[in-house]
Structure 1
Amino acid sequence: MSDDKSALVAGVGSVVGAGGAVAAVSSAGVAGLGATGITSGLAAVGSVVGGSMAAGVCVTAAAPVAIGAAAYGIYKLLKR
């Protein structure tokens, strides 16, 4: 990342991805962000990829990284 704008774009993309991951976990299981809501939400997200709550943790942790990388790549592609 050679300029400040590309770092900003990647950072904003990661923040948006993190917000989306929290929203997905909150709405996928029992409503809310208490222990029951987080546990059931992670289990529901993990079941999409054929796993359990541990797979849900991996999916929700990877989402912000993937969205940030995609935002950075799109920015660099459009900057040309």
Structure 2
Amino acid sequence: MSENIKKSTVVGGVGVVATGATAATTASAVVGGSAATIMSATAGTTGAALAATAGTAGTAGGAAIASGMASVGAAVGGGMATGAIITVAAPVAIIAAAGYGLFKWFED
């Protein structure tokens, strides 16, 4: 690695690539799919847990996850598939931003 490239830049770049790869992989699995396909593609992920917290009050399990993904997707003009992509990629982006921030903070 070149002496001129800061470690925070490398961490930030890796984070962008990881977030993009996660979003692309999820998109290829859910775009054009039914609700059942979307749910099975995202089952057990941190994104599904994140979507459940955004779900309609009073729902639980799959209903909370589905309504949460639809709500997140609707916030940006999409639907459940869009929400699935966002909720799956969000944790990766947050960790990447935190890593970048820590490297930037401690950099000389």
TM-score norm. by structure 1 comes to: 0.64
1:22 aligns with 2:56: no
Unaligned runs of 5+ in 2: 1-6, 16-45
- The CA distance in 2 between the partners of 1:68 and 1:52, in whole Å, is 25
Deviation at 1:37, TM superposition (A): 1.1
TM-score norm. by structure 2 comes to: 0.49
User: What is residue 51 of structure 1 aligned with on the other side?
Assistant: 78
1:38-69 CA-to-partner distances (Å, cap 9, x unmatched) read 11111001101110000000000111111111
After TM superposition, the structure 1 = structure 2 runs for residues 1-80 of structure 1, keeping only pairs within 5 Å, are: 18=46, 22-23=49-50, 25-31=51-57, 32-80=59-107
- The CA distance in 2 between the partners of 1:78 and 1:28, in whole Å, is 32
One-letter amino acid of the counterpart of residue 78, structure 1: W
Unaligned runs of 5+ in 1: 11-17
Q: Secondary structure at the match of 1:50?
A: coil
- The CA distance in 2 between the partners of 1:79 and 1:33, in whole Å, is 42
Alpha carbon RMSD of aligned pairs, Å? Answer: 2.6
Instruction: Compare the two structures and name the one with the higher helix fraction.
Output: 1
What is the aligned-residue identity percentage? 44
Q: How many residues end up aligned between the 2 structures?
A: 64
